[in-house]
Structure 1
Amino acid sequence: MMSVVQLCFLLSALAGFSYSIMCNYCTAYDDIPRNCTSTIDCPANYRCSATVTEHYKDFSKEIMETSVIHRCVPESYCDTFGSYSLQTERKWMGITCCDTDYCFPDQLADIKTNNELTGVTCPVCSSNTSSTCEPEGTMQCRGEEYNCIRIYTVTKYYYYESVFYNGYYYMGGSKTVQEESSIRGCATDSFCDFGSEMMLGDHSRMETIYNCTDGAEERSGFPTTLIFCCIAQILLYLFIF
């Protein structure tokens, strides 16, 4: 017979047991992808998710593009939403999850945007060829975006080269191609909390890093100007007399 101590130990082990699930893996634009044909085996502590992204141009209510991605994400990503902005555009993202094999979570139906200025400014830039980009100026943050963010992505593609010899194709050596990109702008706390994200495909691996710093509060230049004028007046007085 199992002792009370053994039973408690077994229940504790079962309570802390982490299991992996199978999720649908597909993307659709301006539509809900209910006909996913690809699946992915998610790591432990991941959940099936629906990530809705809306792309706004010039901070208007007009949506340029909507995408829905079904994939698996860490549990900490579930039920989060937020936005990040570049110089002339904003992307809003909402993530919902479910925890059974091949499930489709309910998507967030209403996306609210707030275009009020926050009084925070951040450096802005973008690059499609490098994981770093030099600031090309600053932008004013809006809505709930109080952080300056740098998002950089490294994508690696793995494949085998084919070698043609004597009229036949043979499998050659493996090859890796790496692509990098980066952006700077404003972001909500939720994007900063992501930290890093890894997406695995059949022959690819994409890692995205979210680095945030506090934005710079805009302040009036009046006090600085006043102090400068006072010092100039004192120096002029001493020089004359």
Structure 2
Amino acid sequence: MRAVLTSLCILSALIAPGASLLCQQCTDLQHNNCSTSAPVQCHSSQTHCVSILRQTILSVGGPKMMSIIKSCGTKKDCDLTTSTNAGSFQMITSSKCCNTDNCNPPQINIPLKETNPNGLYCMSCYSGSIDTCDKKENTTCVGGEDRCIQYGVTIKSGGQDMKIAVHGCATRNMCDTQARAAYYGSSFEVKGFQCSSGTRPQLGLFLSALTGLLLMKLFS
């Protein structure tokens, strides 16, 4: 009996390492594809190879810049599309997955940015040099952007850290993933993430008017 148990333990030890998925792990901040010569072995809980394509615009009317992130992940990281609007800064991300060793996910297409206002707004700002920003302005949310978010990110690239800060409108899945849907893997460190519901301007104006009327009545 002891010999049988020993054999089972040895067999389990031999099988376990091979059961982990192998995936590409790379980040390219300037292109829409990247690869490595040797895939990494994923943690046993990571069942999918995840690719996230990100499109950013840093100024109104500016060029669209593409970047790609590939890493090990889970099923909940798959098939996510996010939208972020921080005034001059716009970002859309889309993720796809596959679940075989060193596989390539299906082609990722970035959807067109929705432009119809949804009646909500957030205070927004963007910094491309530090992970905080203070000069905020009202930004109208569009499409499915029903949340106000703020966060800072440290990006590790080529041995040099880059920092950005984003405050603005975003889709709910940016909150659900704590921005993981857009900044995935060891190259990114998200700090100070906060999320709240978008505000309706009409409500703010109504409250301001009501407060004014009450003060006038109080002092008349």
Give your verdict on TM over 0.5.
Answer: yes
Q: 1:183-202 to 2 correspondence within 5 Å? A: 183-195=166-178, 197=180, 199-200=185-186
Equivalent residue of 1:97, what SS?
strand
Give the equivalent residue in structure 1 for 2:121: 121
- Higher share in strand: 1
Q: 1:70-219 to 2 correspondence within 5 Å? A: 70-109=70-109, 111-128=111-128, 130-154=130-154, 180-195=163-178, 197=180, 199-200=185-186, 206-209=188-191, 210-219=193-202
Query: Alignment RMSD, CA only?
Result: 3.6
- From the superposition, tell whether residues 187 and 59 of structure 1 become closer, same or farther in structure 2 (CA, over 3 Å): farther
Q: C-alpha displacement at 1:218, in angstroms? A: 1.0
CA distance in 2, matches of 1:196, 1:228: 39
Q: C-alpha displacement at 1:222, in angstroms? A: 5.8
Deviations 1:68-117 (A, max 9, x none): 33222343211111111111231110011111111000023351321111
CA distance in 2, matches of 1:135, 1:73: 36
Q: Percent identity?
A: 21
Q: C-alpha displacement at 1:148, in angstroms? A: 0.6
Give the equivalent residue in structure 2 for 1:172: none
CA distance in 1, matches of 2:106, 2:29: 16
Give the equivalent residue in structure 2 for 1:7: none
More displaced, 142-151 or 190-199? Answer: 190-199
Equivalent residue of 2:134, what SS?
coil
CA distance in 1, matches of 2:189, 2:51: 19
Q: 1:36-47 to 2 correspondence within 5 Å? A: 36-37=36-37, 39-46=39-46, 47=48
Letter in 2 for 1:53: R
Give the equivalent residue in structure 1 for 2:10: none
Asked if residue 23 in structure 1 is aligned to residue 23 in structure 2, the reply is yes
Equivalent residue of 1:228, what SS?
helix
Give the equivalent residue in structure 1 for 2:4: none
Give the alignment's TM-score, normalised by structure 1: 0.65
More displaced, 79-88 or 221-230? Answer: 221-230
- From the superposition, tell whether residues 233 and 148 of structure 1 become closer, same or farther in structure 2 (CA, over 3 Å): closer
Letter in 1 for 2:212: F
- From the superposition, tell whether residues 154 and 64 of structure 1 become closer, same or farther in structure 2 (CA, over 3 Å): closer
The number of equivalent residue pairs is: 198
The gaps in structure 2 that reach 5 residues or longer are 1-15
Deviations 1:39-93 (A, max 9, x none): 3332232221221112246677x86122233222343211111111111231110
Are 1:123 and 1:135, in contact at CA under 8 Å, matched by a contact in 2?
Answer: no
Q: 1:42-61 to 2 correspondence within 5 Å? A: 42-46=42-46, 47-56=48-57
CA distance in 2, matches of 1:190, 1:213: 12
Give the equivalent residue in structure 2 for 1:173: none
The gaps in structure 1 that reach 5 residues or longer are 1-16, 160-176, 237-241
- From the superposition, tell whether residues 231 and 69 of structure 1 become closer, same or farther in structure 2 (CA, over 3 Å): closer
